[in-house]
Amino acid sequence: MSYLNELKIEYNRYFTKALLAIAKEDWNVAVNNLDMATRRLSEISAHRTGIAKDTTQDWMFDLVEEIKKIENHVKLEKSKKKALAMLEEKKEKQAQEGKFTPTDVPETTFDDIAGLEDVKQAVMYKVIYPQKYPDVYKLFKKRTGGGILLYGLPGTGKTLIAEAIAHETGASFFSVKCSDLGSKWFGETEQNIRDVFESARACENAVIFFDEIEAYATNRRDNSAMERSVPEFLAQMQGVGSSEEKNKILIIGATNKPWKLDGAFLRPGRFDEKIYVPLPDAQSRKKILGHRMNGVPIDENLNVDVIVQETEGYNGADMDYLCEKAKENAIRRSIWDASATRVITNEDFEQAYNVIKSSVLQSDREEMEKWVKENRS
């Protein structure tokens, strides 16, 4: 058998395989076999002359065009599948409409929060007393509701304060994290913001707590991505707490970085009350120790004043962790030394605060102190 006949046989075999693959809509196999058939036609064309050569080349070019059409079809099908997948994901997300529902009323009370007396007093006049003495506030036409911005270093108790407010007022509590609002879909973040407020307006009395609010309320000059979410946020906040509102809605924002907030949020009508939540002072740290050690066996010689002195600059979370570490030291000693007195000693705390240092960065502390000095009235 001549080489030319072998090429013809191979061409027919690949072309037939391609036709079968097309019938099965197995496009990748079809393209591969058509490509092999085209290569064989190219070789056959090289062995021909005249009209036979021209005809073979024309057929070869036709096959190349068919390959391109199939490749385009494959790309189109992939695009369709991707679009369908995106549509399904979009539908699933839309099906979650109304996903912003209130949690159970928090059990945290103001008594659970050690220290921060100035903060508690400010909250009482802003939130609690308007409900307790509505006639007095009405007499002086004092606006109630609206927004409270709790700002301070991490771990100072901002979330606890928000929970205590919801508990004291018996309000439906909407706890919203930045991850709840964000979306890769165009306009979805703004829709999520609207959904939160619409869900709250459906309640007679509601508290919306935005943790790390700077994530979606960042200064628009510093972040162009905020150009849509910030205006929507501001529009939804407008009028909240006014006398025209039938229901009572309190907006609480918490931030560790108030300097990142868009200036529009700090104007009257948005976050009217801006409350600084400082690191616990000596008296507050002593109260935290009392709370955490309540009911725990303690050595009568435990020097609380020394512990308080050694924990200067600790936040509430650090103090909580310190107490847990001291308990752990006492447990370890009690397990391995049967003769040991089962109480928490000065040594247990010494070992704890030698390991556990303040989690607050000095740079953050300096920046916060600077901002407070420039903006606190």
The CATH number given to whatever domain includes residue 289 is 1.10.8.60
Q: Where are the alpha helices (DSSP H) in 47-115?
A: 50-95
State percent of the chain over pLDDT 70: 85
Is residue 324 over pLDDT 90? yes
Q: Is residue 105, in this structure, part of any structural domain at all?
A: no
**What pLDDT shows up at residue 192?**
82
**Contact by Cβ (8 Å): 79, 137:** no
Q: Among positive and negative, which fits the CA dihedral 62, 67, 73, 79?
A: negative
119 plus 238 within the same structural domain? yes
Phi-psi group of 350: left, alpha or beta (phi > 0 → left; psi -120 to 50 → alpha; rest → beta): alpha
Residues 167-193 pLDDT 10s: 888 888 888 877 677 666 667 778 888
Question: Is-contact 294 344, C-beta < 8 A?
Answer: no
DSSP 8-state assignment for residue 340: S
Same domain as 186, residue 224: yes
pLDDT at 145: 62
Question: Which residues, in sequence order, are CB contacts of 128 under 8 Å at separation 6+?
Answer: 165, 168, 169
- The number of distinct structural domains making up the chain is 3
Last residue of some domain: 276, 303, 320?
Answer: 276
Q: Are 118 and 202 members of one domain?
A: yes
Residue 204 lies in a domain: yes
What's the pLDDT tens digit per position in 31-70?
888 788 888 778 877 777 777 777 777 776 777 777 777 7
Q: Cβ neighbours of residue 220 under 8 Å, at least 6 residues apart?
A: 226, 227, 230, 262
In a domain, 84, yes or no: yes
Which domain covers residue 175, as residue numbers?
A: 110-276
Confidence of residue 93 (pLDDT cuts 50, 70, 90): low
- Regarding whether 286 and 152 lie in a shared domain, the answer is no
pLDDT for res 267: 79
Say yes or no: 264 and 180 in one domain. Answer: yes
Backbone Cα Rg of the chain: 35
pLDDT in tens, 207-260: 888 888 888 777 766 655 556 678 888 888 876 765 555 667 888 889 998 888
CATH assignment of the domain containing 7: 1.20.58.80
Tell me the pTM.
Answer: 0.67
Contact of 211 with 176, CB cutoff 8 Å: yes
> Is residue 245 in some structural domain?
yes
Instruction: Read off the pLDDT band of 331 (50, 70, 90).
Output: very high
Query: Do 267 and 123 fall within a single domain?
Result: yes
Q: Judge whether 60 lies within some domain.
A: yes
Is 30 inside a domain boundary?
Answer: yes
Task: Answer yes or no: do 148 and 241 share one domain.
Answer: yes
Other C-beta atoms closer than 10 Å to the C-beta of 8 total 15
Q: Could you give phi then psi for residue 58, rounded to 5 degrees?
A: -60, -45
What b/e string do you get for 84-115 counting C-beta neighbours within 10 Å, with b at 16 or more?
eeeeeeeeebeeeeeebebeebbebebeebbb
d(CA 320, CA 293): 10
Give the chain's mean pLDDT.
81
Helices and strands per DSSP (H, E), number in the chain: 15, 5
Handedness of CA 264, 265, 266, 269 (dihedral sign): positive
Is the pLDDT at 320 greater than 60, yes or no?
Answer: yes
Q: How far apart are CA 255 and CA 272, in angstroms?
A: 15
Last residue of a domain, one of 225, 255, 276: 276
Confidence of residue 348 (pLDDT cuts 50, 70, 90): very high
For 111-148, write each residue's pLDDT tens digit.
888 778 888 888 888 888 887 888 998 899 887 766 88
Is the model more confident about 92 or about 255?
A: 255
